[in-house]
């Protein structure tokens, strides 16, 4: 019996491999030799049968947009009803008709596709219709996941919405001119000052005072406080600034920014970024914004859109307690990454501003790597949401590489997807180099290579060199890693695609399932990304009923299936859709 199961598994793996190879060949389009055909079904996946020759004979060629074709035909062998399989349908960002990959996809586009299944019997494919189980039956079934779904009503955190505007590019600023400032002063516009008036993003004044410069390991951070902050809170806030500063050395190391590069990105030449603790709000910056960074602060006065601050400023809300302090510290690191990324790419290298989705993904990864993964609670909760509603879109409701993040309230889910993509890259590469845990010490070299590669490359988003080898197979492995990590029952999954384990006692590493504690100490149950639960692929797959968000992915979890071999078929009028089948258990 064991031999039989093993044999079935091998057949399945072989078939799956063939399916992927066929699909990749079809997308290539350059090396595929013309193959004579009589009908679309005779062509490899991703191709159609058309008259393309002078003689009028039909050959297989790559499908174009608007031509219905099979994007996948895969055999699924089930040797035991205990098995659990995962079907993942996804689409990497692509140009027209599978052309050059863009940095991101236009915001939120939907692509219909169909999925059907049939069972092979004596060499014939036969559709078998069974009575579909009701929702109630599914709930009572031990093989259903419905009973695990508990929506965390009211538990969602109203977390920070970090602002990262960026339209202005100007490096024509003079160096600070400050001589050594006294205690209680910061260098502002070339002069030592204990108080200053900075311009908020809407042009209004923010009167700041009680300036100070905190130092750690040769790095400094200027700090000022707006007039709403009481003197009694200054020591607490200064301590928060000092805590953030302790991580600057690691941040610079990850971004491979040495002293020379740091001087180049220090726009006002004062030797440090300026942290402004403020309670100020505007129509764009509400009370829910924990912190932000505004490139308009960096532009020379007189430049269109410039605030006139001419300084590298990190705007942060003053935390009220220890939990808030942790969120504020992680926000300082998040925003400082944005500031450095923008300044280095645009001022030093002359590149364009990074694609929003990738910029945010990198900033959230910084929080994780610096040990503030608990501050990523809202993005992790969003990607593991099980019920779709306007305030909590699920994994399949959004695409992760879109030109805009906030279409409605789905910004957090998109951020979560982008962050998980980068964390998976680091974890898989670090594992190859022998890493055993997700801690910064173990993954630092890989993480540094990732950040360096993205910083030094003039391209944007998904067109970066880093993603040159990121094909359907690699993306399918990432999606599998997201689904199968931290689930003990999915024991059949290749461990190389699973995220690195989180080190005990450290707030770092991918978190997708199980209890998760945020910065305020609240505990959430994360349940992995949403999947459709099916037990009878022949009946449950609904043909023309599906839609994929471009650059997104959809999971189908198959469990409790009858023993046999199933033929899964995916069809679409859009090119570039991929399908991956994996036995989880």
Partner 1 sequence: MKHFVFFWLSLGGFAAEIRAEQIQGGTIQVGGTDLFMAVSLESLGVTTPLGGELTKELQRIHGAQVRVVGQMGAEGKFVVNSYQIIEIFGKKPMVGKVSTQGEGTVLTVESKKGKALKIVLKVSKRSRLKRWATENLKVWVIARELPSKELKVIRYGLLDVLNSSR
Among residue numbers 562 through 581, which ones bind partner 1 (CB under 8 A)?
573-574
Output 154 or 218, the one with its CB closest to partner 1.
154
> Contact at 8 Å (CB) between 411 and 161?
yes
Output 105 or 332, the one with its CB closest to partner 1.
105
Output 109 or 243, the one with its CB closest to partner 1.
109
Output 404 or 496, the one with its CB closest to partner 1.
404
Examine residue 161 and tell whether it contacts partner 1 (CB under 8 A). yes
- For residue 209, how many other CB atoms are within 10 A of its CB? 16
- Cα 490 to Cα 54, 239, 483: the distances in Å are 53, 44, 9
> Contact at 8 Å (CB) between 188 and 194?
no
Q: Least distance in Å: CB of 95 to partner 1?
A: 9
The strands making up 196-199's β-sheet, listed across from edge to edge, are 196-199, 205-216, 219-226, 274-277, 313-316, 291-292
Helix 411-432 × helix 440-456 angle, to 10°: 110
Examine residue 163 and tell whether it contacts partner 1 (CB under 8 A). yes
Q: Least distance in Å: CB of 114 to partner 1?
A: 8
Q: Which two tokens stand for residue 342?
A: 């923008």
CA angle 512, 513, 516 (to 5 degrees): 85
Q: Least distance in Å: CB of 388 to partner 1?
A: 6
Number of residues in contact with partner 1, rule: CB under 8 A? 46
Output 403 or 486, the one with its CB closest to partner 1.
403
The closest of 304, 313, 303, 302 to 336, measured between CA atoms, is 313
Taking CB under 8 A as the criterion, the residue among 26, 44, 46, 166 binding partner 1 is 166
Output 355 or 519, the one with its CB closest to partner 1.
355
Among residue numbers 83 through 142, which ones bind partner 1 (CB under 8 A)?
96-97, 102, 104, 106-112
> Contact at 8 Å (CB) between 247 and 370?
yes
Which range touches partner 1 (CB under 8 A), out of 135-143, 186-194, 256-264, 537-545?
537-545
Ramachandran region, residue 507 (left: φ > 0; alpha: ψ -120 to 50; beta: rest):
beta
Examine residue 202 and tell whether it contacts partner 1 (CB under 8 A). no
- Cα 343 to Cα 252, 365, 507: the distances in Å are 14, 19, 29
Examine residue 322 and tell whether it contacts partner 1 (CB under 8 A). no
Taking CB under 8 A as the criterion, the residue among 81, 197, 249, 284 binding partner 1 is 284
Separation between Cα atoms, residue 387 and residue 580, nearest integer Å = 24
Output 289 or 558, the one with its CB closest to partner 1.
289
Output 117 or 584, the one with its CB closest to partner 1.
117
CA angle 508, 510, 512 (to 5 degrees): 130
74 CB-side CA count, 13 A = 29
Cα diameter, the chain: 88
Residue 487 three-state SS: coil
Examine residue 308 and tell whether it contacts partner 1 (CB under 8 A). no
Q: Least distance in Å: CB of 272 to partner 1?
A: 24
Output 429 or 532, the one with its CB closest to partner 1.
532
Q: Least distance in Å: CB of 68 to partner 1?
A: 8
> Contact at 8 Å (CB) between 444 and 430?
no
Determine phi and psi for 58, rounding to 5 degrees: -90, 140
Taking CB under 8 A as the criterion, the residue among 157, 234, 323, 407 binding partner 1 is 407
Taking CB under 8 A as the criterion, the residue among 84, 274, 405, 426 binding partner 1 is 405
Separation between Cα atoms, residue 234 and residue 229, nearest integer Å = 8
Separation between Cα atoms, residue 207 and residue 222, nearest integer Å = 16
Q: Least distance in Å: CB of 237 to partner 1?
A: 24
Examine residue 158 and tell whether it contacts partner 1 (CB under 8 A). no
Separation between Cα atoms, residue 364 and residue 385, nearest integer Å = 18
Among residue numbers 344 through 373, which ones bind partner 1 (CB under 8 A)?
353, 356
Which range touches partner 1 (CB under 8 A), out of 237-245, 272-280, 405-413, 472-480?
405-413
Taking CB under 8 A as the criterion, the residue among 175, 239, 542, 563 binding partner 1 is 542
Residue with tokens 């160096």: 175
Examine residue 516 and tell whether it contacts partner 1 (CB under 8 A). no
Quick note: the x/- pattern for partner 1 over 408-437, rule CB under 8 A, is: x--x--------------------------
The secondary structure element, H or E, covering residue 432 is helix 411-432
> Contact at 8 Å (CB) between 340 and 454?
no
Output 45 or 412, the one with its CB closest to partner 1.
412
Taking CB under 8 A as the criterion, the residue among 152, 191, 403, 565 binding partner 1 is 403
Among residue numbers 370 through 389, which ones bind partner 1 (CB under 8 A)?
388-389
Separation between Cα atoms, residue 248 and residue 259, nearest integer Å = 12
Taking CB under 8 A as the criterion, the residue among 56, 123, 302, 390 binding partner 1 is 390
> Contact at 8 Å (CB) between 226 and 210?
no
Examine residue 146 and tell whether it contacts partner 1 (CB under 8 A). no
Separation between Cα atoms, residue 250 and residue 304, nearest integer Å = 35
Output 248 or 347, the one with its CB closest to partner 1.
347
Count of residues for the chain? 585
Output 293 or 511, the one with its CB closest to partner 1.
293
* Residues that bind partner 1 in the complex, under the rule CB under 8 A: 65-66, 96-97, 102, 104, 106-112, 161, 163-167, 201, 284-285, 289, 304, 353, 356, 388-390, 393, 397, 403-408, 411, 542, 544-547, 550, 573-574
């Amino acid at each position: 019996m064991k031999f039989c199961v093993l044999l079935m598994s091998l057949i399945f793996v072989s078939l799956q491999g063939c399916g992927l190879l066929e699909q990749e060949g079809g997308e290539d389009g350059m090396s595929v030799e013309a193959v004579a055909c009589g009908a679309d079904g005779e062509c490899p996946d991703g191709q159609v049968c058309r008259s393309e020759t002078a003689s009028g004979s039909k050959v297989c060629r790559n499908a174009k947009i608007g031509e219905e074709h099979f994007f996948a035909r895969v055999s699924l062998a089930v040797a035991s009803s205990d098995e659990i399989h995962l079907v993942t349908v996804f689409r990497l960002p692509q140009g027209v008709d599978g052309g050059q990959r863009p940095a991101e996809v236009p915001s939120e586009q939907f692509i219909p596709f169909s999925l059907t299944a049939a069972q092979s019997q004596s060499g014939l494919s036969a559709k078998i219709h069974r009575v579909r189980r009701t929702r109630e039956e599914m709930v009572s079934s031990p093989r259903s996941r419905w009973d695990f779904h508990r929506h965390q009503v009211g538990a969602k955190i109203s977390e920070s919405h970090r602002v990262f505007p960026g339209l202005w590019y100007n490096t024509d600023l003079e160096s600070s001119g400050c001589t050594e400032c006294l205690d209680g002063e910061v260098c502002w516009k070339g002069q030592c000052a204990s108080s200053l008036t900075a311009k908020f993003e809407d042009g209004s004044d923010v009167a700041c005072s009680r300036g100070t410069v905190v130092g750690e390991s040769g790095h400094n951070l200027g700090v000022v406080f707006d007039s709403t902050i009481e003197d009694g809170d200054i020591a607490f806030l200064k301590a928060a600034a000092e805590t953030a500063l302790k991580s600057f050395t690691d941040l610079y190391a990850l971004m491979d920014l040495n002293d020379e590069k740091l001087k180049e990105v220090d726009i006002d030449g004062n030797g440090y970024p300026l942290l402004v603790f403020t309670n100020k709000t505007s129509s764009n910056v509400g009370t829910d914004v924990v912190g932000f960074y505004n490139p308009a602060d960096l532009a020379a006065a007189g430049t269109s859109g410039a605030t006139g601050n001419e300084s590298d400023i990190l705007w942060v809300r003053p935390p009220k307690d220890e939990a808030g302090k942790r969120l504020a510290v992680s926000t300082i690191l998040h925003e400082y990454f944005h500031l450095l990324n923008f300044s280095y790419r645009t001022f030093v290298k002359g590149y364009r501003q990074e694609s929003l989705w990738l910029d945010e993904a990198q900033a959230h990864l910084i929080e994780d790597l610096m040990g503030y993964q608990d501050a990523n609670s809202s993005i992790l909760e969003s990607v593991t949401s099980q019920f779709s509603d306007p305030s909590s879109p699920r994994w399949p409701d959004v695409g992760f590489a879109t030109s805009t993040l906030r279409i409605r309230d789905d910004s957090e889910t998109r951020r979560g997807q982008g962050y998980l993509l980068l964390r998976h890259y680091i974890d898989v590469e670090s594992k190859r180099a022998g890493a055993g845990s997700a801690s910064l010490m173990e993954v630092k070299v890989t993480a540094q290579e990732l950040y360096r590669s993205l910083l030094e490359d003039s391209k944007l988003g998904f067109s970066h060199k880093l993603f040159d080898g990121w094909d359907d197979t690699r993306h399918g492995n990432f999606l599998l890693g997201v689904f199968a990590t931290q689930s003990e029952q999915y024991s059949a999954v290749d461990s190389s695609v699973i995220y690195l384990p989180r080190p005990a006692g450290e707030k770092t590493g991918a978190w997708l399932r199980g209890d998760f504690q945020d910065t305020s100490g609240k505990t959430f149950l994360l349940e992995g990304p949403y999947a459709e639960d099916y037990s009878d692929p022949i009946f449950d797959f609904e043909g023309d009923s599906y839609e994929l968000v471009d650059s997104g992915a959809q999971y189908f979890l198959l469990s409790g299936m009858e023993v046999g071999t199933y033929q899964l078929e995916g069809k679409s009028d859009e090119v570039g859709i991929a399908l991956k089948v994996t036995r989880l258990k």
